[in-house]
Amino acid sequence: MAKVIIIGGGAAGMIAAYSAALTSKQVILLEKNEKLGKKIFITGKGRCNLTNASDMNIVMENVVSNKRFLFSAFKNFTNEDIMNLVENNGTKLKIERGNRVFPVSDHSSDIIKSLENAIRDLHVDIRLNTKVDELIIENDRCIGVAIGKNKIMADAVIVATGGMSYQATGSDGDGYRFAKEAGLSVSKLYPSLVPFNIEGERIKALQGLSLKNIHAYIYNDKKLVYDEFGEMLFTHFGVSGPVIISASAVIGNKNIKGYRLSIDLKPALDEEKLDERILRDFTEQKNKSLKNSLNKLFPAKLIDEVIFQSKLNPDKKVNLLTKEERHSLVHATKNLEYVISSTRGFNEAIITKGGVEVSQINPKTMESKKIKGLFFAGEVLDLDAFTGGYNLQIAWSTGYAAGEGAGNEQYSD
């Protein structure tokens, strides 16, 4: 039985501690913050989208980067496994739209409490307010960690420090530094599951406007690179909301300056049907100006923008609009366009795209192929997925695999 140190008390770290403690004589969990699970606390708007209850094949399909690497980890510790563990430790769960799993209480703190209960029951030594400065590596083997002038020796060390996202929770990139100092390659890091900045000032007038049942398309020149149906939100800097945040997972690691966002405000209607609908509305309000006759079709905040993009006179009476002008209105409704300037930064990103390159990691145990006894789990690895509980499942599965691998008796002297 091995003595195992885990650096980081987030999702991957806590589950790694649990897994390691099932077989290890001593497990020490080191967390730099004053409490465990600080990032879990704010996930899912404070409710914690624990996992996704879909078949694990569907969970796999929602992984964006290096999904094949996760085959073994996903098989070994599934969404059902994490749900059972949490429920068996006192937190009842519910499944919502899109198979998203939440605590019945809607309090993320209950998830943290359950995981903490599980690891305390296994006598994990939890040390808070403890920042690891460096790994101790000798003869291509990790044998402990240094905390200031103090050293803690171990048979195995698991790095579960998180990425660069939500830096206020302590995710400052330590894990990437540890990996580089150990001679491992780290791919370029990008903020992911993050809103977009939009060029120009007009977007500010739409701040706070939430749209449901729209279809968003993103183009690079004329090439369609992403499209999704759902909800979005206008902000003072650009656009956010589920369909936008998911888009960043696909295109956020590219130079997206100049990419175009096109929004179909009425995807349920083709152009002909939409024209008929507009004509019907105009017939009822034939003496009104264009700007005062679209309130049945659009939210008030959106009317000026649609007219602006239609290149029509907002004061023109609707009964004087030509068929061509009406078609311009239809086109703008089906293709409201914006130029993307960039993504927002790491502090608004839900996750980090990029990380420790998985070609250097054993997919069954999460151990470095180069440094014996050194393991990585969770967001520090070059693994990411769409929203919906999939990223936390990556943390649970890789964390469990790392704990199991590190706790294996072959690492003991």
Res 413: pLDDT = 43
Res 400: pLDDT = 98
Together in a domain, 213 and 121: no
204, two tokens = 């500010």
Which strands sit side by side in the sheet containing 3-7, from one edge to the other?
Answer: 125-127, 26-30, 3-7, 156-159, 374-376
Domain boundary among 328, 344, 360: 344
pLDDT in tens, 315-336: 999 999 999 999 999 999 999 9
Identify the bridge partners of residue 186 per DSSP, sorted by sequence position.
Answer: 356
Together in a domain, 21 and 143: yes
Together in a domain, 170 and 230: no
Range from 156-165, 354-363, 373-382 carrying the lowest mean pLDDT: 156-165
Q: Does residue 413 belong to any structural domain of this protein?
A: no
pLDDT in tens, 340-357: 999 998 888 889 999 999
pLDDT in tens, 182-207: 999 999 999 999 999 999 999 999 99
What is the value of pTM for the model shown?
0.90
Together in a domain, 330 and 202: yes
77, two tokens = 């510790």
Give the count of domains, the chain: 2
CATH number for position 275: 1.10.8.50
Identify the bridge partners of residue 100 per DSSP, sorted by sequence position.
Answer: 52, 96
Q: From 132, 176, 180, select the one nearest 29 (Cα to Cα).
A: 132
User: Which range marks the domain in which residue 212 is found?
Assistant: 195-344
Res 116: pLDDT = 97
Res 1: pLDDT = 63
pLDDT, averaged across the chain: 94
Together in a domain, 317 and 361: no
Pairing, β 210-220 against β 51-52: unpaired
Kindly report the CA angle at 43 between 37 and 48, in degrees rounded to 5?
A: 85
Q: Does residue 364 belong to any structural domain of this protein?
A: yes
Domain boundary among 319, 344, 369: 344
Name residue, tokens 């497990």: 27
Question: Residue 125: helix, strand or coil by DSSP?
Answer: strand
CATH number for position 378: 3.50.50.60
Q: Does residue 252 belong to any structural domain of this protein?
A: yes
- Name the CA radius of gyration of the chain, rounded: 25
Domain boundary among 344, 363, 380: 344
Together in a domain, 57 and 127: yes
Res. 170: pLDDT tops 70: no
